[in-house]
Structure 1
Amino acid sequence: MHALISLFAENWHLFRLYFVSEERFYARIMFFVLIIMELMTIGLDVLLTYWSKNFLNALQNYDQSAFFHSLLQFCFLAATIIIISVHKTYLSQTLLLYWRRWMTNDFLKRYLDHHAYYEMSFMKNNRQNIQDRNDNPDQRISSDISIYIISIFELTIGLLSTCVSLVCYVILLWSLSGVIKINFTQNLSCSVRGIMVWAALVYAGLGTIITNLIGRVLFHLKYEQEHCEANFRYGLVRLRDHAESIAFYRSESNEQTSLSTLYLELITNFRRIIHRKLALNWFDSFYTTTARVFPYLVASHRYFSKQITFGHLEQIATAFSSVHSALSFIPNSYETIVQWRSATKRLTEFEYTLNELQLAKQNSKIKFIYVSNEQSTHIENLTIQLPLKIGENDGQILIKHLNLVLEPHQAVLITGKTGSGKSTFLRTLAGIWPHGSGMITFPLGDTVAFVPQKAYCPLGSLRHCLTYPSISFSSIEEDKKIRNILNLCQMKYWSNNLDEVQDWSRVLSLGEQQKMAFIRILYLRPKWLFLDEVTSSLDEQAETYLYSILMQELANHSTIISIGHRNNLRQFHQLELVLNDGNVTMMSI
């Protein structure tokens, strides 16, 4: 019971997000109009049962005038039903489209805010009822949101339609059921009113109970299937993204084994779903097929005793079918309910993770201050740690109690053995590593650029790739500027390909991608520049040349902080920051 209450509470939170958003006015209007249309559809269906009774009676009585009169009535009914049905479908699809667009943007914004996408890649689980909170967030955004919205919409409208239909058709069926007298002995009998209603309640109630007993395990299996599908797809994406490395290692057999293992998990779980659905389909087929003849069987006594006409019998069967369908909402919607529960759980877990990451960021003891009329960057009492769990700061200490002032136009080289915390130090300054304590003060209004070791190549044209993350538009002056920088960085041969769209991470070599990073730096000209081994894929000659260009262009404009291992870089810096077992030593070069 507690789990059911928790499920509905979580679902209510997800459901209301869109209807209290900035688009709530249009969302509520569309939803309200759809409810009105659904109610009109139910009303027209009830009218059709009366029309059907009169139409069949006209046929049975060979009444031609009543027959044509019924046909005329049908034309008006059919026209109304068609108009409502078409517009209901259009409005439903429009609402689902807007709903999905808003919800996707909302989750995507929170996923990108506060670098949640980055921290999620290495966070550790500290919640027992979540198996893997780093379980393919891309699928949760691209697929689970769509599944959730479609399923919850169908279930909400379906449940509303079921409740209203149940009331309307129970009243109708009760009025058509009459009174059945059951004789137990010669002197003992019992009159039962609304026998058709009671029969529908018993039949549908048994169907619901048995369906849930057979199919409830599908909820867990469906959740696991989404997990397995996402893992297999991610494995294939990694194979594509690391194709060259795998080819060099000649490790196709290892990848085959790894992917086969993931696919085996997928197939094994899917086989369990098939076996469970086999049992469920056996019962469902029996339940649905029997329901076709059941109302005729119960009402046959009154028909053969000539208490009702053939038209009445058909109306009773139609009303019984509608009551039975309403009462069988759970069995009939079981597959949708399974999808809804699975999507709700995955989205709830994802939202919990995003909220927890945001809370951890807000509670971080590393504070950033931006001061106007300030020229230097101040680092005060900075301690950096590796987290044991998200939101906790009691892991291994990488840097402790660092106090440092970075002056304008300085060039500082950060060195230290592998794992000493050099890259994590830059992550902390960039604000994407919240684990630790201290205060960092930047000059307000100064442009800051952090350049990682592996350059990122966004999708799009080469121009967009070279000027990322700024947005560059094609113009004579802009193209001339980019071509001059290409020439400076020894990549002139790409000058005529600025508008070409490619997957540039595959087209450009690692060395060219690191040259591209220098092109971006010279294009953006930031006041504070932090470089994380940006020449590791280049030979010393290219490294010397590019750093010479960098100093020539930005030495009197920018403060440059570099991480590197080669002694070759020392000639371009005035100070060296050495990291060793949590201690930091500053020395002149």
Structure 2
Amino acid sequence: MGGMTDDTDGKTGGGKTGDDQSAAGRPDNGAPGFTRRFLMLAGGYWFGRTRVTVWAMTVALVVLTIGQVSIPVLINLWSERLFDALEQRSMDRLMTMIGLVGLIIVYNIVIVVLHLRVKRRLQMGWRDWLTRKLLEDWLRRGRHHQIAYLPGEHDNPDGRIAEDIRITAEVAIDLGHSLTYCALLLVSFTNILWMLSGTLTVTVFGSELSVPGHLLYVALIYAVVGTSIAMLIGQPLVNAVNRRQGYEADFRFALARIRENGQTIALLHGESAERGHLTGLFAGVARGWNRQTAALANMMVFSASYSVLSAAFPILVAAPRYITGAITLGVLMQTAQAFQQTVGALSWPIDNLPRAAEWRASVERVLNLHDALVRLDREVCDVPDGHIQVVRADEHKSLTFTGVAIDEPNGTAVVHSFDLEVRPGDRVLIGGDATATIRLFRAVAGVWPWGRGLITLPAHTRVFFMPERPYLPHATLRAVLAYPGTASSLADDKAADALVSVGLPDLVDRLDSLDRWDEVLSVPERQRLGFARLLIRRPDWIFLEDATDSLDPPAEEELLTLMERELPNATLLTIGHHAGLDAHHGRKLVLERTNGAVTLREEVREVLPATESAA
């Protein structure tokens, strides 16, 4: 349950049968295609609150792309005049051409710089929008916790949100820009190449046949053949990129886990085991790299041949007309350039296939995460009668469980159906099956929807969940104590009183110190800090999940007595198995496992006087 939740409200969802879950893990034959799924997820950026600015930047990017296309057109026209001047040995025309190329350079600089700024702003804006959208869906009502239990290809959500969204937004605009550029270039140089080709006369069976714009047809055939071969050779590259990204994500996630649990690993001297685990994961990275290298090598064999041939082929095709005197040297070079630009525009798939493969693999990873979150809502959390519902009600003063049964995500029963009422002021100890007790608390918190039944909490009350290991964000100690509230909401005296009360007076002077508190503090100190949060929050309903298991008996007794004294009217539900806990609870629930599932029974107990408890 990471950290603390308060004022839990709304409804959460529940379980599915095993058949439902397996069906959910299979692809739906009626599901939208890749392009439609991508537009449904990411297209909203152009229709949101900032759509005017977004569309203005998009139009500006298209206009600047047209400006970029005009550069090679100007260079093509300039080349014709330059080589004609060289052929005629005209110094005056040569100097004019030098001046003109200077103007073209200045114009190109302006276009390129403006284009870069607009494109990068659009890329970051789209990435920011997508990141916010995924984070809103993921970090909502425990979805980040629940999704880990769903089958499907949505592991390592941190990498998908941080890296794959970046690639999705940046590369999509890069590819869109390059495709638009090539399309406009094709339109521009198709017209130029058509005019420069003239008319080719071919004799067929004794009849003369005129073929206007023959070089354009040659360029089209050349590009189509090259693109077709490249698509066939490059097809394995898509799968290779996808597999490699999966291996890389697993390796990054394992490294992050070691960083997060460094202290525990060091205490257990587990470095050797972690090195072995990382070595195995990196072997997967190497396999993915090698498979991608093999696929790229096949692609490069063709690309290297194709690029060299593309430079020589247009001159060889147009050379006979120059030799016969039909065209000048300037027209020959202009024709060769136009041919190269036309073939280059038509070769967009060849040039961009590796990057497009990487982009599609990242988009699929983002879509899989989004689809899993949608599926979680559609098939689990939004099914009225197929999940555990947690609601707030004004007419209820107690915590009630009505027909509540808890399941695993695959439909396996964890806790049989039961009814229970916890009245205000009750102090309930919950013991027995460890898995069942944890699932029960998760259900009350609204983050374990699998099962059925209704859990009702009183409205307008504060609820506090304290897990076994409190979540301590990387922030100032004041922010840690106030979490999930803001640091500014916690006054010095209130924070200091709480720290002193729980036995952490040495931390009072470090309220505004920034540190990795989950590493700096020992486990018992972190549990004491959890009680300090409790005193600051002063909730009406308290749920403790093995929150004193690392404390020695005197410290445990001290903190529980402190809680009773400071919050005498609070309702307490505790998961724990220490003998010392019994004296602080008037009711005891036992979750017993029989025949694979758990049933709940209650033992009624009287709270012992404080003197007996101390004894």
Q: TM-score, normalised by structure 2?
A: 0.88
The amino acid that maps onto 2:415 is: L
8 Å CA contact 1:386–1:398 kept in 2: the answer is no
- For the pair 1:416 / 2:428, whether they are aligned, the reply is no
8 Å CA contact 2:389–2:453 kept in 1: the answer is yes
- For the pair 1:89 / 2:116, whether they are aligned, the reply is yes
The amino acid that maps onto 2:518 is: S
Once structures 1 and 2 are overlaid, which stretch shifts more, 71-80 or 523-532? 71-80
| One of 421, 426, 433 as aligned partner of 1:405 | 421
Alignment of 1:131-280 (within 5 A): 132-133=153-154, 135-183=155-203, 187-280=206-299
8 Å CA contact 2:143–2:373 kept in 1: the answer is yes
1:583 counterpart residue number? 599
Deviation of 1:10 (Å): 2.5
- For the pair 1:367 / 2:389, whether they are aligned, the reply is yes
- SS at 2:302's partner residue? helix
- 1:363-414 deviation line (CA, Å, top 9, x unaligned): 25322332236432222221111221xxxxx3223141x2222222221111
Alignment of 1:455-470 (within 5 A): 455-470=470-485
| One of 14, 38, 51 as aligned partner of 1:11 | 38
C-alpha separation between the residues in 2 aligned to 1:224 and 1:474? 47
- 1:69-91 deviation line (CA, Å, top 9, x unaligned): 43444444333332222101110
Alignment of 1:48-63 (within 5 A): 48-63=75-90
1:479 counterpart residue number? 492
Deviation of 1:439 (Å): 1.6
The amino acid that maps onto 2:520 is: V
Deviation of 1:218 (Å): 0.8
Deviation of 1:21 (Å): 2.4
Deviation of 1:418 (Å): 3.1
C-alpha separation between the residues in 1 aligned to 2:324 and 2:243? 56
- For the pair 1:451 / 2:466, whether they are aligned, the reply is yes
1:34 counterpart residue number? 61
8 Å CA contact 2:402–2:420 kept in 1: the answer is yes
2:407 counterpart residue number? 385
C-alpha separation between the residues in 1 aligned to 2:149 and 2:395? 37
- 1:213-247 deviation line (CA, Å, top 9, x unaligned): 21110101101111111111222222333334334
Alignment of 1:100-111 (within 5 A): 100-111=127-138
Higher relative CO (Cα under 8 Å, sequence separation at least 6) belongs to 2
C-alpha separation between the residues in 2 aligned to 1:4 and 1:473? 48
8 Å CA contact 1:229–1:266 kept in 2: the answer is yes
- For the pair 1:499 / 2:512, whether they are aligned, the reply is yes
2:413 counterpart residue number? 396
Judged with a 3 Å threshold, the aligned counterparts in structure 2 of structure 1 residues 339 and 490 are, in CA distance, closer, same or farther, namely same
C-alpha separation between the residues in 2 aligned to 1:561 and 1:513? 20
C-alpha separation between the residues in 1 aligned to 2:403 and 2:462? 24
Unaligned runs of at least 5 residues, structure 2: 1-28, 607-615
8 Å CA contact 1:148–1:339 kept in 2: the answer is no
8 Å CA contact 2:400–2:455 kept in 1: the answer is yes
- For the pair 1:328 / 2:347, whether they are aligned, the reply is yes
Following TM superposition, the consecutive aligned residue runs of length 4 or more in structure 1 with deviations greater than 6 angstroms are: 2-5
- SS at 2:473's partner residue? coil
8 Å CA contact 2:263–2:519 kept in 1: the answer is no
Deviation of 1:314 (Å): 1.2
The amino acid that maps onto 2:462 is: T
The amino acid that maps onto 1:525 is: R
Once structures 1 and 2 are overlaid, which stretch shifts more, 175-184 or 319-328? 175-184
- 1:172-194 deviation line (CA, Å, top 9, x unaligned): 10100012234568x45543322
Judged with a 3 Å threshold, the aligned counterparts in structure 2 of structure 1 residues 580 and 5 are, in CA distance, closer, same or farther, namely closer
The amino acid that maps onto 1:99 is: W
Q: How many residues align?
A: 570
C-alpha separation between the residues in 2 aligned to 1:311 and 1:81? 23
| One of 516, 532, 536 as aligned partner of 1:519 | 532
2:543 counterpart residue number? 530
- SS at 1:120's partner residue? helix
C-alpha separation between the residues in 1 aligned to 2:458 and 2:220? 74
Once structures 1 and 2 are overlaid, which stretch shifts more, 15-24 or 262-271? 15-24
- For the pair 1:570 / 2:570, whether they are aligned, the reply is no
- For the pair 1:428 / 2:443, whether they are aligned, the reply is yes
The amino acid that maps onto 1:566 is: H
C-alpha separation between the residues in 1 aligned to 2:388 and 2:296? 53
C-alpha separation between the residues in 2 aligned to 1:184 and 1:418? 89
1:342 counterpart residue number? 361
- 1:340-359 deviation line (CA, Å, top 9, x unaligned): 21112111111111111222
Deviation of 1:110 (Å): 0.7
C-alpha separation between the residues in 1 aligned to 2:329 and 2:77? 13
CA RMSD of aligned residues (A): 2.1
Deviation of 1:551 (Å): 0.2
8 Å CA contact 1:387–1:396 kept in 2: the answer is no
- 1:224-280 deviation line (CA, Å, top 9, x unaligned): 111111111222222333334334444433322222111111112211211221221
Deviation of 1:488 (Å): 0.9
8 Å CA contact 1:528–1:560 kept in 2: the answer is yes
Judged with a 3 Å threshold, the aligned counterparts in structure 2 of structure 1 residues 397 and 417 are, in CA distance, closer, same or farther, namely closer
Identity value in percent: 28
C-alpha separation between the residues in 2 aligned to 1:138 and 1:314? 53
C-alpha separation between the residues in 2 aligned to 1:89 and 1:367? 51
Deviation of 1:212 (Å): 1.3
C-alpha separation between the residues in 2 aligned to 1:253 and 1:575? 46
8 Å CA contact 2:61–2:118 kept in 1: the answer is yes
The amino acid that maps onto 1:459 is: H
1:98 counterpart residue number? 125
The amino acid that maps onto 2:407 is: Q
The amino acid that maps onto 1:366 is: I
The amino acid that maps onto 1:472 is: A
- SS at 2:487's partner residue? coil
Q: TM-score, normalised by structure 1?
A: 0.92
